[in-house]
Structure 1
């Protein structure tokens, strides 16, 4: 903690039941370091009583960094095992409503002087709250945000929190999430299996306590927090068209209990009514929009009537499907304006242009269509909400292909997507929350599985980065090396140099630059390719005036060679000598030219679901999902498209569960 003043605020209320009741107003605690020097510091503490008058008080906290209290004034301070209790000094025992009692002390510190994470007054925990901000200020302060996905929202037993493969949440995880630069955490929570039967639908006390514990941990680290009903949307609320009263009752009972349980928490906690609202068995889109509005209204009414801090708590309302299509935006705009409440936030999700996001239908590149989709999407959201004074949170963003594997989309194309996403969201004043179900930030090592990806995401929060048409420079081993020209995407930056490691390449000798056209000379590529083994021979970095450098992989390849094989619809692997190349996509057609396999409206199949390369073992796998959609005893021509530009033809025929693959 820097010398000077570091302020910490906390708020406390007492909740007498888990129902929505008007809670006692509680207290506010302000802790500030007023002076600091090597090994010592002074601090002031102010306790404001927002409830009924008290006669006698004790304020307790634990030191997070091993500090000690040396002497105090206006309070009697005792300390044991790092826990401090400050009691009234007799003459200041009585604190009337809305009055403040103050005390101070001199303390010592060694390694760090971190502010206490939480306080308790007369045995009741004070939760970090922070001052009440406007909805726009609050939403801006949440940028950037991170989703703690596939954890509290997991479904399955015996332990929902770990049933989808992630470890239990720890305070260390939240420490490290904050250290990455995130200002807010979205806690998706699925309540389906944690509520009892109707009509009461009582929430399991232990599970609710666990959620509250995680919320407290996050708030104690000055992170903004958003809690919701998550997979409940596809487990039971979707039945509302045919089970209206039952669904509405369960929804209301859950939010009644949650509103009461969290009334004590300060303004840095927000509620999100329902994740990705969706309905089945409806009469059509108008009814679904109306049902979403009904849930939004019920959620709003329950929380506001619960009183206490909930009277002004920021509430997050979703569009149907959390979609950004105009037909879904307009009804939510009307509803929020109709509430005439300044403490409301709209939310939508964004996973990009679907063919690119899932790598299907030939959507392998971050091209003009992908960029235009983002631009149009954010423009609609901005013009519908932000321009009318309603803040917006992109509650989830990412790429759909990440659900299969983060390599579903080629690295350079992926980086360009996130660079532009962050830039344009910032330009349109949208707060973004990265969806992470464990595939991005490792929750035990606290390292990013793809540091280059996160570097681009983090940089995009503040500045643009230069990129290029490609991050791959291919030279065929069977041919002499020739010069290669690549278009740079300067994105408002200026090119400052090309490097091999920390060694600068020589402009005019190793490369030339003509506007945005970067040309690598044949002599430089020959030198960098060395003995020309298949694969990446060197990695170059283009540096720009700001942002993250762009990497070029200098690759030696030859046309990949698949082999004849047999297998089954459950396991079919084509032995493939990739010879340094990488698979971009695959087409499938019958002999008559008709499209074969799933997604029969396109010849290009979905990467990761219909097919997938295995470079380590030299295999190209065709998945059961691909064969499930093939006709029996009709030959299918596969065309494998590689990033070098090479195309390789292969043939498969399915007969029952048996599959034969040939090169001719």
Structure 2
């Protein structure tokens, strides 16, 4: 699915009228030294705006890069900042280190400032996180599920049995839930790792919809820590953030699906999303240069945890580059030098081999061509999987070619009769849910899996958004999925 454009921070011009200073002190419950300390100060205010600063102290092991997050209230919007790379998504503000101030030894501090707009009120942030760790408080113990907490039911290790997904006891399981977009685009745009909060409360809100699965789109350059990505959002920092989100998803009893969304490789042909060689948009196919290494690394990271599902590549569209559908499916499976694509392609067989070469036996999903909307020859060209744990993935929106019951009966039903079928993305751009209601009914009638796009607070002009707030408040579109999930799993 396409994503909203990067917002541009506006410079504030004019004199700043300082009218006093407000500082939020560091307080802990027991008086113990917190893992990190943040002092937030409002150093000046004027009609419609204010100036502030943060002073960050690292009280744990030294770090080579840092990223601070907190939330604005009262509709406040970041306008400009210094001594950090500042950004805002929704209410969440992120300040990441510059190249010259990334290292923070134990006990070391760093300060950064900003200017923001305000419409009313004097609310100040009450919670700060440094590299995902809550500051200004004693170290938080891991939550222990209570007797009625849904987290007491751990997600299952899934395997393919015929055309069903089953758990270790052989019980049929369905993947029903949402996508959590952000990890594929924020890092490559230099704005952070995730779009909006990924704290425990925001993940619990997904579980409260009675979802049992969360799909997490990723960026291969960010995971591999390539030189074009800000180090604060790359390599170990990125991987640890993904691992932390996976752990939170599991803690609430949901299956995490890690999925490769954006990849390296320059493509300027038909339906190109961008002309950039870097992983800044959807490419027609994965690249041989980096994608096998990405999947080997991801598989090594999660191979000891078979509850994690691997979705090989978001939305292949080699059919837009090749002259024939047969060429497109050959490119999809075998990769190599594909007609119309200027870089060496990693085919689905290459990616399956990369995962299985690590010893990982996790469930793998593979989407078809035409942005994963065409599965008409999936069975003919499906890659060989020595672990026998491969399922078909499919995406559908109201504007896709295969978007009616007739097409589903003719092209999806034969696939679903032989292998498990997962609709990794369902959505519509109408700000309503009439279309996905039809999709969900067709899949429910056959006991199949589906995941709504997307658990992000965008508007309809940017793409289907399930929520208007990360507390789980649904949009008109999201109401359809929420009510269906609660009816099925409530």
User: Which TM bucket (shorter chain)?
Assistant: 0.5 to 0.7
Structure 2: runs of 5 or more not aligned = 1-137, 271-276, 278-283, 335-346, 458-464
Change (3 A) 1:159 1:324: closer
C-alpha distance in 2 between matches for 1:270 and 1:440: 22
Does the CA contact (< 8 Å) of 1:144 and 1:184 recur in 2?
yes
Q: Which of 164, 169, 188 is equivalent to 2:198?
A: 169
Does the CA contact (< 8 Å) of 2:160 and 2:390 recur in 1?
no
DSSP-derived class of the 1:213 partner: helix
Q: Which of 345, 349, 366 is equivalent to 1:317?
A: 366
DSSP-derived class of the 1:137 partner: strand
* TM-score with structure 2 setting the length: 0.54
Q: Offset at 1:324?
A: 3.7
Does the CA contact (< 8 Å) of 2:373 and 2:400 recur in 1?
no
Matched, 1:303 2:349: no
DSSP-derived class of the 1:271 partner: strand
Partner of 1:219: 250
Partner of 1:424: 442
Change (3 A) 1:334 1:209: same
Does the CA contact (< 8 Å) of 1:324 and 1:377 recur in 2?
no
Aligned-pair RMSD on alpha carbons? 4.0
Partner of 1:258: 298
Change (3 A) 1:285 1:386: closer
Q: Deviations over 1:621-656 (max 9, x none)?
A: xxxxxxxxxxxxxxxxxxxxxxxxxxxxxxxxxxxx
C-alpha distance in 1 between matches for 2:403 and 2:265: 32
Does the CA contact (< 8 Å) of 2:396 and 2:403 recur in 1?
no
C-alpha distance in 1 between matches for 2:139 and 2:222: 40
DSSP-derived class of the 1:393 partner: strand
C-alpha distance in 1 between matches for 2:191 and 2:139: 33
C-alpha distance in 2 between matches for 1:319 and 1:435: 18
C-alpha distance in 1 between matches for 2:262 and 2:412: 27
Partner of 2:316: 277
* Equivalence map 1:198-209=2 (5 Å): 204-209=235-240
Does the CA contact (< 8 Å) of 1:128 and 1:222 recur in 2?
yes
Q: Offset at 1:278?
A: 2.7
Does the CA contact (< 8 Å) of 1:324 and 1:381 recur in 2?
no
Does the CA contact (< 8 Å) of 1:151 and 1:168 recur in 2?
no
Q: Deviations over 1:199-232 (max 9, x none)?
A: xxx9711111111111111112220111111022
Matched, 1:386 2:416: yes
DSSP-derived class of the 1:177 partner: helix
Q: Offset at 1:154?
A: 3.3
Q: Offset at 1:290?
A: 1.8
C-alpha distance in 1 between matches for 2:394 and 2:471: 31
Partner of 1:249: 289
Q: Deviations over 1:510-533 (max 9, x none)?
A: xxxxxxxxxxxxxxxxxxxxxxxx
Q: Deviations over 1:43-96 (max 9, x none)?
A: xxxxxxxxxxxxxxxxxxxxxxxxxxxxxxxxxxxxx99969xxxxxxxxxxxx
Does the CA contact (< 8 Å) of 1:142 and 1:184 recur in 2?
no
Q: Which of 211, 229, 242 is equivalent to 2:260?
A: 229
Q: Which of 149, 163, 173 is equivalent to 1:141?
A: 173
Instruction: State which structure, 1 or 2, has the greater radius of gyration over its C-alpha atoms.
Output: 1
Q: Offset at 1:113?
A: 3.7
Q: Deviations over 1:492-522 (max 9, x none)?
A: xxxxxxxxxxxxxxxxxxxxxxxxxxxxxxx
Q: Which of 383, 388, 397 is equivalent to 1:351?
A: 397
Q: Which has the higher strand share?
A: 1
Does the CA contact (< 8 Å) of 2:214 and 2:254 recur in 1?
yes
* Equivalence map 1:432-581=2 (5 Å): 432-436=450-454, 437-438=456-457, 439-450=465-476, 453-460=477-484
Q: Offset at 1:178?
A: 0.6
* TM-score with structure 1 setting the length: 0.41
Greater relative CO (CA pairs within 8 A, separation 6+): 2
Does the CA contact (< 8 Å) of 2:466 and 2:479 recur in 1?
no
Structure 1: runs of 5 or more not aligned = 1-79, 85-108, 119-126, 356-371, 407-413, 465-664
Q: Offset at 1:175?
A: 0.7
Partner of 1:158: 190
DSSP-derived class of the 2:417 partner: helix
Does the CA contact (< 8 Å) of 1:161 and 1:167 recur in 2?
no
